[in-house]
Amino acid sequence: MTFLWQWLGDPANWVGPDGIWVRIGEHLVYSAITLVLAAALAIPLGLWVGHTGKARRLVVNVANGARALPTLGLLFLAVLVAGPLLPGDLAFAVPAILVLVILAIPPILAGAYAGVEAVDRQAVDAARGMGMVGHQVLLNVELPCALPLMLGGLRSAALQVIATATLAASVSLGGLGRFLIDGQAYRDYGQMAGGAVLVAALAMVVDVVFVGFQRLVVSPGLTSSVVTRRGLREHLSTN
Amino acid sequence: MTWALNHVEDIGGLLASHAVLAAVPLLIGLLLAIPVGWLAHQQHWLRTPLVVGTGLLYTIPSLAMFIVMPLVLGTGILDPLNVVVALSIYTVALLVRTVADGLDAVPAQALDAATAMGIGTPRRFFTVELPLAVPVIAAGLRVAAVSNVSIVSVAALLGIPQLGSLFTDGFQRNFIDPIVVGIIACLILALVFDSLIGLFSRWLTPWLRPGSAT
């Protein structure tokens, strides 16, 4: 394992246009674009499914089926099919982001509809009793109450995307996967192991950031009181 | 699709090794996750470190895991053992929480009844707790099976032959047919695993079938 520390400890590996900092930046940019696009598609759809209960079976089955798609195959297929139609770097970047979005949608979607479905029916009834109409119930009651599960879905999507964005390097893009692919090509085990450690560390840092964000935005009424939490758990287990 | 018809034998061989590489770690992972999950369920203070700790293993990218395995195990980079060990780790990562949740969900009355009938703790675990936790564990196992099928294909980047080899082969030759065939074969394999686990779980839980006396 000494070559791992040698590689990570060498300052020359951290700076420059193909240094570690640049690769981490690229990795975060791919992941952020992917998560924003996937959330923009999956959260409204999940809220709608959870709120109305319509098309539930279809959406659940398609989302679960999508989990079985082999990401590597999808990536190569997307690059071969869509690549020639796109100019320059986009020929690789667009298909890669597309495939990562497909990977990120199922967990975000599941978090959104499960979150809305798990909202206490009594809270929804109370909101209706106070005269709120459909979209008011959704935005003022169901959405804030669904946040913990929704952010949970976003969090597991973020972990999967960061782990899988390493594959982007196999179609000549950047990101931390470069160290894995190049290290393997040059039989440079220090670089490979270093890249692996960096991706895992990045995933953990992003996870911690998500936990902090969750603490910040979730209403204290949903987390601080033991009574509410027990109520939610009982509700989940009876459904 | 004449390419697929001309290469049925090759595809069959790759499919078989893919199935083995995905299924064996599933069994190993399950066998390891049951005692660890039981410990997390039994000892309250161990639950968070065990569940979070094993869950963190899942954040390690598969490509990185396959590359690091030979360093840890002392195997060659092309050794299928790397894939088996790596996927067993992912399976444990997914299943420890599931096993603990499944055991948590066993009704206390059932345990009390078993104790009152004079069933000792070890026997109670295997004849009462574990069978009652089967539906939850099976649900987690299905997720792990589907994800294993997808992850195995990444090992093709290192040259370990399975359905993922069709992806690298097609990509290098700028030829779509093998990639499409590989994706479809992966989907079918995931579906077969999913159905088998579903059937097995139904067979193990006759009391949950509609029409059975409750």
Interface of B with A in 135-154 (CB under 8 A): 143, 146-147, 149-150, 153-154
**Residue of chain B with shortest Cα separation from A208:** B56
Average pLDDT, chain A: 86
In this structure, is residue B212 part of a structural domain? Answer: no
Mind spelling out the 3-state secondary structure of chain A?
CHHHHHHHHCHHHCCCCCCHHHHHHHHHHHHHHHHHHHHHHHHHHHHHHHHHCCCHHHHHHHHHHHHCCCHHHHHHHHHHHHHHHCCCCHHHHHHHHHHHHHHHHHHHHHHHHHHHHCCCHHHHHHHHHCCCCHHHHHHHHHHHHHHHHHHHHHHHHHHHHHHHHHHHHHHCCCCCHHHHHHHHHCCCHHHHHHHHHHHHHHHHHHHHHHHHHHHHHCCHHHHCCHHHHHHHHHHHHHC
Tokens of A179: 């160290």
First-residue to last-residue Cα distance in chain B? 52
d(CA A215, CA B81): 42
Residue A6, pLDDT > 80, answer yes
Rounded alpha-carbon distances, angstroms, from residue B50 to A205, B41, B122, B137: 19, 10, 22, 17
Minimal Cβ distance to A73: which of B56, B61, B153: B153
Using a CB–CB cutoff of 8 Å, tell me whether B162 touches chain A. no
Using a CB–CB cutoff of 8 Å, tell me whether B57 touches chain A. no
pLDDT of residue A223: 64
B64:A166 CB<8 A: yes
Mind spelling out the 3-state secondary structure of chain B?
CHHHHHCHHHHHHHHHHHHHHHHHHHHHHHHHHHHHHHHHHHCHHHHHHHHHHHHHHCCCCHHHHHHHHHHHHCCCCCCHHHHHHHHHHHHHHHHHHHHHHHHHCCCHHHHHHHHHCCCCHHHHHHHHHHHHHHHHHHHHHHHHHHHHHHHHHHHHHHCCCCCHHHHHHHHHCCCHHHHHHHHHHHHHHHHHHHHHHHHHHHHHCHHHCCCCCC
| Residue whose token pair is 């996927």 | B87
A-chain residues near B191 (CB < 8 A): 68
| CB proximity list for B86: less than 8 A, separation 6 or greater | B25, B62, B65, B66, B69
B-chain residues near A207 (CB < 8 A): 59
**Residue of chain A with shortest Cα separation from B194:** A68
Q: Cβ distance B170 to B113 under 8 Å?
A: no
Tokens of B24: 């064996």
| CB proximity list for B150: less than 8 A, separation 6 or greater | A67, A68, A69, A70, A71, B186, B190
**Residue of chain B with shortest Cα separation from A205:** B59
pLDDT of residue A235: 45
d(CA A79, CA A73): 10
Give the range among A27-36, B57-66, B125-134 with minimum mean pLDDT: B57-66
Average pLDDT over residues B179-204: 94
B-chain residues near A68 (CB < 8 A): 146, 149-150, 186-187, 190-191, 194
**Number of residues that this document lists for chain B:** 214
Burial of A63-80, coded b for 16+ CB within 10 Å and e otherwise, reads beeebbbbbbbbbbbbbb
Q: How big is the CA angle at B47 (ends B95 and B127), to the nearest 5 degrees?
A: 60
Question: CATH no. for residue B11?
Answer: 1.10.3720.10
- ipTM, two decimals, is 0.86
Q: What is the pLDDT of residues B104-120, one digit of tens each?
A: 989 999 999 999 999 98
Q: What is the pLDDT of residues A204-233, one digit of tens each?
A: 899 889 888 888 888 877 765 444 444 445
| CB proximity list for A142: less than 8 A, separation 6 or greater | A47, A50, A51, A116, A119, A124
Residue A84 confidence class, pLDDT cut points 50, 70, 90: confident
pTM reported for the whole predicted model: 0.85
Domain boundaries, chain A: 2-238
**Residue of chain B with shortest Cα separation from A180:** B64
B150:A71 CB<8 A: yes
> Which of A49-53, B62-66, B109-113 is most confident?
B109-113
Rounded alpha-carbon distances, angstroms, from residue A62 to A57, A90, A109, A157, B148: 9, 28, 11, 17, 19
Residue B182, pLDDT > 60, answer yes
A-chain residues near B71 (CB < 8 A): 1, 189, 193
Q: Cβ distance B124 to B63 under 8 Å?
A: no
B170:A81 CB<8 A: no
**Number of residues that this document lists for chain A:** 239
Distance from CA of B135 to the nearest CA of A (A): 13
In this structure, is residue B213 part of a structural domain? Answer: no
* Number of CB pairs, chain A paired with chain B, less than 8 A apart: 118
Average pLDDT, chain B: 90
Total domain count for chain B?
1
Amino acid identity of residue B211, one-letter, is G
Average pLDDT over residues A35-60: 90
In this structure, is residue B214 part of a structural domain? Answer: no
CATH topology of domain A2-238: MetI-like fold (1.10.3720)
A-chain residues near B186 (CB < 8 A): 68-70, 73
Phi-psi region of B106 (alpha: psi -120 to 50; beta: other; left: phi over 0): beta
Using a CB–CB cutoff of 8 Å, tell me whether B2 touches chain A. no
A167:B154 CB<8 A: yes
Residue B212 confidence class, pLDDT cut points 50, 70, 90: low
**Residue of chain A with shortest Cα separation from B191:** A68
B150:A199 CB<8 A: no
A-chain residues near B170 (CB < 8 A): 76-77, 80
B182:A73 CB<8 A: yes
Q: What is the pLDDT of residues A176-189, one digit of tens each?
A: 999 988 988 888 88
> Which of A23-37, A107-121, A189-203, B154-168 is most confident?
A23-37
Using a CB–CB cutoff of 8 Å, tell me whether B168 touches chain A. yes
Count of Cβ atoms closer than 10 Å to residue A193 Cβ: 24
Q: Cβ distance B94 to B38 under 8 Å?
A: no
Residues of A with CB under 8 A from a CB of B: 1, 64-65, 67-74, 76-77, 79-81, 159, 162-164, 166-167, 170-171, 177, 180-181, 183-184, 189, 192-193, 195-197, 199-200, 203-204, 207, 237
**Residue of chain A with shortest Cα separation from B72:** A1
Range of the domain at B109: 2-206
